Structure 1
Amino acid sequence: MRASLISSPEQLAALYPNPIAPASVIKEIDHIDANYGALIAASPFFVLATNGPDGLDCSPRGDLPGFVTVSDAKTLLIPDRRGNNRLDSLKNLLSDNRVGMLFLIPGYGETLRVNGTAVLSTDPELCARFEMAGKLPACVIVVTVEAAYFQCSRAVVRADLWNPAMQVDKRSLPSAGTILRDISARAATETFDGEAYDKALPERVRATLY
């Protein structure tokens, strides 16, 4: 097994001998142009990658399309909507401000990747721009764009991601309550009432979206 591990750039290059396609280089720019701005405006969901003292984090972020605002060609504004308050991503940004973002658009094959740095702002006027259902975000993530480029559709096509027929019946998978119940049982802690958790979850989610 160890002899099969890749340990150098030369070994990696030997596995992928074809030169990089011109489009793979041309598509990367250091700002958000009109085309990439249109993709961000249409996206209701992205994944935020951060790094910190306790390791890496990859966090889903979602809201109505356009919830990420292109303030200017180098700046994105992201309201931090309510979550579980673990604050993994936000704590990471306090020690390492680098971010990676992957935007998805339902029905669209290409994804958009944005890399840059970020700070957290509680500026009242800025937070007020993102009021929803009478609630303000606790803070706004302000991203300075360093690189933006689309990712070709191969992964989405292989996954058949936007095909309604591919949706999984959620009853075939363990529920959140089941997962919590089984973990608490293995940890020999107080038994977790997974059934009650699942029963209350849909309304709790609806009531705490903002």
Structure 2
Amino acid sequence: MTTHAIETIEQLEAYYPGIANISPATWGKETAKINDDYRRLIEACPFATVATEGPEGLDCSPRGDGPGFIRIIDQHTIALPDRRGNNRLDTLRNIVRTGRVALLLMIPGLNETVRINGRALVSVEPDLLESMAEQGKVPASAILVTIETMYFQCARAIIRSRLWQADAQVDPKTLPSAGQLVRSVMADFDSDSYDAVLPERQAKTLY
């Protein structure tokens, strides 16, 4: 297959002539400070993806909890609890090594998303972790992010995907289960037993 790859910035910009007419707001909307309006969005957010990089490559993982789970520390700093997961620690390993992070915040029903790029560290400060306890469970650590730039992403992708539309939801039974996905790469894996106990295990280990 011929890739017809674009290999230079000059070629890229030639294929996107619209960049000459970018609205001043496209670049001007960036900020490193959490103002009152961005505070409202962050406090309403129940779900975010966290992208990092490290020696083994890139990682992008989900983080979610009730609205307000992203803690605003000050006008330039936020914290995300690291609650129970699969213990691969891909995100945390990368943060410890490079300290670079990018977040995408999503709010159900809102077509705009929030993008945050910054520096991060893994904090085990006791008072911070205690303040993030849920159902009596303290997170193992927290991702502390110093915001370098933050801005909202326009709504087109969410509108095109119809992400929040009820009639666009897919019946999970029409897709491979978690156990089946494991078995797709581990032929002798007992997917039926795995799937049978998964809902109960997840319910007991959310926190």
| Matched letter for residue 16 of structure 1 | Y
| Matched letter for residue 158 of structure 1 | R
Match of 1:163 in 2: 165
Q: Under a length normalisation based on structure 1, what TM-score does the superposition of the two structures give?
A: 0.95
Match of 1:73 in 2: 75
Query: Which of 77, 81, 84 is equivalent to 1:82?
Result: 84
| Aligned positions, number | 204
Q: Deviations over 1:106-164 (max 9, x none)?
A: 00000000000011111111110101111101111110000000000000000011000
Query: Mean Cα displacement is larger for which, 191-200 or 144-153?
Result: 191-200
Match of 2:7 in 1: 7
CA drift of 1:181 comes to 2.0
Q: Deviations over 1:75-126 (max 9, x none)?
A: 0011111100000000011110010000000000000000000111111111
Match of 1:200 in 2: 197
Confirm or deny that 1:177 pairs with 2:179.
yes
What's the secondary structure of 2:143's corresponding residue? strand
Q: Deviations over 1:159-184 (max 9, x none)?
A: 01100000000010000111112321
What are structure 1's unaligned runs of at least 5 residues?
Answer: 186-190
| Matched letter for residue 197 of structure 2 | A
Identity of aligned residues (%): 50
| Matched letter for residue 35 of structure 2 | D
| Matched letter for residue 9 of structure 1 | I
Query: Which of 85, 90, 93 is equivalent to 1:91?
Result: 93
Alpha-carbon distance in 2 for matches of 1:68, 1:184: 36
What are structure 2's unaligned runs of at least 5 residues?
Answer: none
Task: Please give the residue correspondences for 1:1-210 in structure 2 after superposition, counting only pairs within 5 Å.
Answer: 1=2, 4-18=4-18, 19=20, 20-185=22-187, 191-210=188-207
Which of structure 1's runs of 4+ aligned residues deviate more than 3 A? none
